Amino acid sequence: MTDILIRTEGRAGRMTLNRPDVLNALSWDMCLEIEKALRIWELDDDVHVVLIDGAPGRAFCAGGDIQAMHTAGKEQRWEYGQRFWADEYRMNALLFHFPKPVVAFLHGFTMGGGVGVGCHGSHRVVDDSSRIAMPECGIGLVPDVGGSLLLARAPGRLGEYLGITGARMDAGDAIYAGFADYYIPEDWDALKAELCETGDVNAVDAAATVAPASSFSDRQEEIDALFSGETLADIARALDTSNSPLAQDARKALARNSPLSMAACVEILHRLGDDPTIEQAMGLEYRFTARASEKGDFIEGIRAQIIDKDRQPKWAHPGPKDVPLADVSAMLRPFPLNLEAPK
């Protein structure tokens, strides 16, 4: 079975992630195939629009295929992850800057690496099944693949909340937070067929309907108050002052996720400000991810969640109030990232 189906249909270039048995998890080879197709279609006058979807099942793409990362990390082949992420981020940036409309159909779970493929296009479509999240802090990474860009642009302190807790967004939440654009609850096959036939992306606007209300809008003031701290420790202390349902759930997430990853996530978002470029975002992300296997909690996070599945990671730091600023700074020291196409 081909892991990704790439073809042209009418006036559309089409990509279908095709690994439903593993929630369409994104492999290194798939990243390279996506980049290759985009570079061809960018110059093809017969391709007017790009459609990205996932094989039917529970997910558009629930993340990257990271088991090979664990093997490489155990063998101390740190360059494996560094090369993979550089290639993946280059593909993400190409999607972000692609000069033609890119329509992504985000059914089911869209998480981690799936956000990098599905949430940088010009027209991001969700429905009632959609569940979007950046849960990387739970495996010892930081929100990456350009996800920090989306988090930094989210209203108020919503980015800090989503980034360090890994909270899942439904359709209304995703549109409110800036991870999606269009709510289309009906069967998408007719819309895909029309896009292929006409190449006219206005069909997406015509098919869209009013999205469900987001719970975040009602809780924005509380989120801003609880997640406005300068550091992760400040946020943890603020959460200790509240017994609201949101604060209780957030405390559980902070107790579960990697303290170093969460502290670095907060620092990255604060360095980026409100309107960064994707190059700035990925540059900071790469500083962490390039070191994550050797210096961070990533290998232990994969072991606990994916390999042994005991859900009992032994993080390097005891808790969210126990991460020295020097440790965060060490993970975010400059590390060169080249997003140019290889010659």
Residues with a known catalytic role? 64, 113, 136, 144
CA 124 distance to own-chain centroid: 13
Please give the radius of gyration of the chain, using alpha carbons only, rounded to the nearest integer: 19
C-alpha to C-alpha distances, 334 to 86, 200, 242, 329, 331, nearest whole angstrom: 14, 43, 37, 10, 9
Give 262's DSSP letter: H
Q: Is 51 helix (H, G, I), strand (E, B) or coil?
A: strand
User: Tokens at residue 50, please?
Assistant: 């790009």
**Rounded-to-integer distance, Cα 175 and Cα 155, Å:** 11
**Rounded-to-integer distance, Cα 14 and Cα 321, Å:** 47
**Rounded-to-integer distance, Cα 86 and Cα 286, Å:** 8
* CB-CB contact of 262 with 134 (8 Å): no
**Rounded-to-integer distance, Cα 101 and Cα 93, Å:** 15
* CB-CB contact of 189 with 160 (8 Å): no
* CB-CB contact of 84 with 106 (8 Å): no
- Among residues 139, 140, 141, 148, the alpha carbon closest in space to that of 120 is found at 148
- Among residues 181, 24, 28, the alpha carbon closest in space to that of 102 is found at 181
User: Tokens at residue 277, please?
Assistant: 């470029």
CA 278 distance to own-chain centroid: 13
